Amino acid sequence: MTTLNAAELVKDDQAHLIHSLHHPLDHAEPLIYVEGKGAVVKDIQGKEYIDGLAGLWNVAVGHGREELARAASEQMKTLAYFSGYVGSSNVPAIRLATRLVELAYKNLTAVFFTCGGAESNESAFKTARFYWKAKGKPEKGKIIARENAYHGVTGQAMSATGMPLYWKMFEPRVPGFVHIQAPYPYRFQGARPGEGVGQAAARELEEKILAEGPETVAAFIAEPIIGGGGVIVPPDDYFPRVREICTRHQVLFIADEVITGFCRTGQWFALTHWGVEPDIMTFAKAVTSGYLPLGGIIVSAEIKAAMDSVRYEDRWMHAYTYSANPTCCAVALANLEIMERERLWERSARLGARLYEGFLGLLDLAHVGDVRGGRGLLAGVELTADRATKAPFPPGEKVGERVKREMEKRGVVTRIRGDVLLFAPPLVITEAQVDRLVEVVREAVQAVVPGKA
């Protein structure tokens, strides 16, 4: 592809293509990607980059897997699509649902498929409300979510998302969504003397349930490790307490494992780290490693029983055209086979430890305030203007954005949230690529905000 072609494509892109989070200021010099192999992607100019975020946290098995292309091609040639509405089914969807139930938490028994994360969370919220109505508790409708959470941007998912920038130009939000603080060790406010952040954040959940009235709360939703909101890893005592509180007050616990699912954290699913099971798990992204769109919810035996037992006129009138799409399900099955064959949860744990250790080494830089990780290949590096006060840089300085540019120049692409650099590379990344990634982050931070601690 010539440079001229690339320039023409950029012009057409800027004129005719609306991107997620669209703004021309962020799209003045877009990279156009044309190829990928393993943990590396190539742009239209032929420049190669380590993919620091596995696409959008999803390309777990890496780029360029012909096996997945074959699975799609074979299924498309056999039966590309047919309705998955009640009364009709297909073989890959049945096989995938069965496999997911085997892999997921023991108490989860039945799957509904969607096309992505937001649709999965929408489905989870509606199913939680459905469940309580089926149980004769129609007042239980509110959803408690957390600040810094990202759950997608459809109406309800946006309302659960705990980042006001996603609401501002689209309000009003869907009523019935309330927020509490996440267990964000670096910035949590309001822990009592002697109380850890995990305990304090769990206490906030219980206080919120009591303040709202347990008889009005349907569910609590949480990412086991917050992803897009800054890779926030909870203290170990948080989720066991959350589980107890939810059970005590009859509040369903929805785990949004859209990022953390499918080996990302060194386990198939992340709550395993803390020995906790949710009532509903939502998933998407790495279920197909992004090769085709697919997501879903997996619900507990109790919820499935409620769905099966309502009167016919009260049935679960929820649906998507592409639910249980045979081709997407066939690709997911092939993707899960790769994960198992290559034991990618182990690789994620091992390479994740290397990445985290590498990033901890950056704490000798004056403006690296916090390094988060240690649970598989998922890490965050938070930059700060002042290490002592944890004061952020003025947003106008766009420090995170500038560091990201410097990383791109040196051959690493990823995303940021403000001044937090986010990392979740493909699980097939090599040791040498991990080391190079860390080196590039060091150089990029030093180029923008130099200084030693």
CA-only gyration radius of the chain, Å: 22
**Four-point Cα dihedral 255, 258, 260, 262, nearest 10:** 110
| Amino acid at residue number 287 | V
| Amino acid at residue number 251 | V
Beta carbon nearer to ligand PLP, 73 or 154: 154
Least distance from ligand PLP to the Cβ atom of residue 120, Å: 7
For residue 105 the two structure tokens come to: 């938490």
Least distance from ligand PLP to the Cβ atom of residue 139, Å: 27
Strand intervals (E) in 301-398: 368-372, 379-383
Least distance from ligand PLP to the Cβ atom of residue 297, Å: 12
Least distance from ligand PLP to the Cβ atom of residue 389, Å: 30
Q: Calculate the alpha carbon distances from 319 to 84, 91, 219, 307 in Å.
A: 9, 19, 21, 14
Binding site for ligand PLP (CB under 6 A): 56, 116-118, 121, 150-152, 223, 227-228, 256, 258-259, 284
Q: Within 10 A of 285 (CB to CB), how many other CB atoms are there?
A: 29
Least distance from ligand PLP to the Cβ atom of residue 121, Å: 6
Phi, psi of 139 (to 5 degrees): -75, -15
Residues 6+ apart with CB under 8 A from 416: 400, 401, 403, 404, 422
Least distance from ligand PLP to the Cβ atom of residue 396, Å: 26
Query: Is the Cα dihedral 384, 385, 388, 390 positive or negative?
Result: negative
Beta carbon nearer to ligand PLP, 223 or 406: 223
- Token pair 């954290």 is found at 265
Strand, coil or helix: what is 198?
A: helix
Beta carbon nearer to ligand PLP, 145 or 440: 145
Least distance from ligand PLP to the Cβ atom of residue 417, Å: 11
Contacts 24+ apart (CB under 8 A), 4-12: 5/44, 6/32, 6/44, 6/45, 9/44
Q: Which residue is nearest to ligand PLP (CB)?
A: 117
Beta carbon nearer to ligand PLP, 330 or 422: 422
Beta carbon nearer to ligand PLP, 293 or 374: 293
| Amino acid at residue number 172 | P
Among 24, 53, 370, CA closest to 188: 370
Least distance from ligand PLP to the Cβ atom of residue 435, Å: 27
Beta carbon nearer to ligand PLP, 62 or 228: 228
Beta carbon nearer to ligand PLP, 263 or 306: 263
Burial of 335 (0-12, 13-18, 19+ CB in 10 A): buried
Rounded Cα distance between 369 and 127, Å, is 40
Beta carbon nearer to ligand PLP, 90 or 161: 161
Least distance from ligand PLP to the Cβ atom of residue 7, Å: 30
Beta carbon nearer to ligand PLP, 348 or 384: 348
Residues 6+ apart with CB under 8 A from 140: 129, 132, 215, 216, 217, 218, 250
Contacts 24+ apart (CB under 8 A), 164-167: none
Beta carbon nearer to ligand PLP, 31 or 56: 56
Least distance from ligand PLP to the Cβ atom of residue 194, Å: 32
Beta carbon nearer to ligand PLP, 119 or 206: 119
Least distance from ligand PLP to the Cβ atom of residue 180, Å: 17
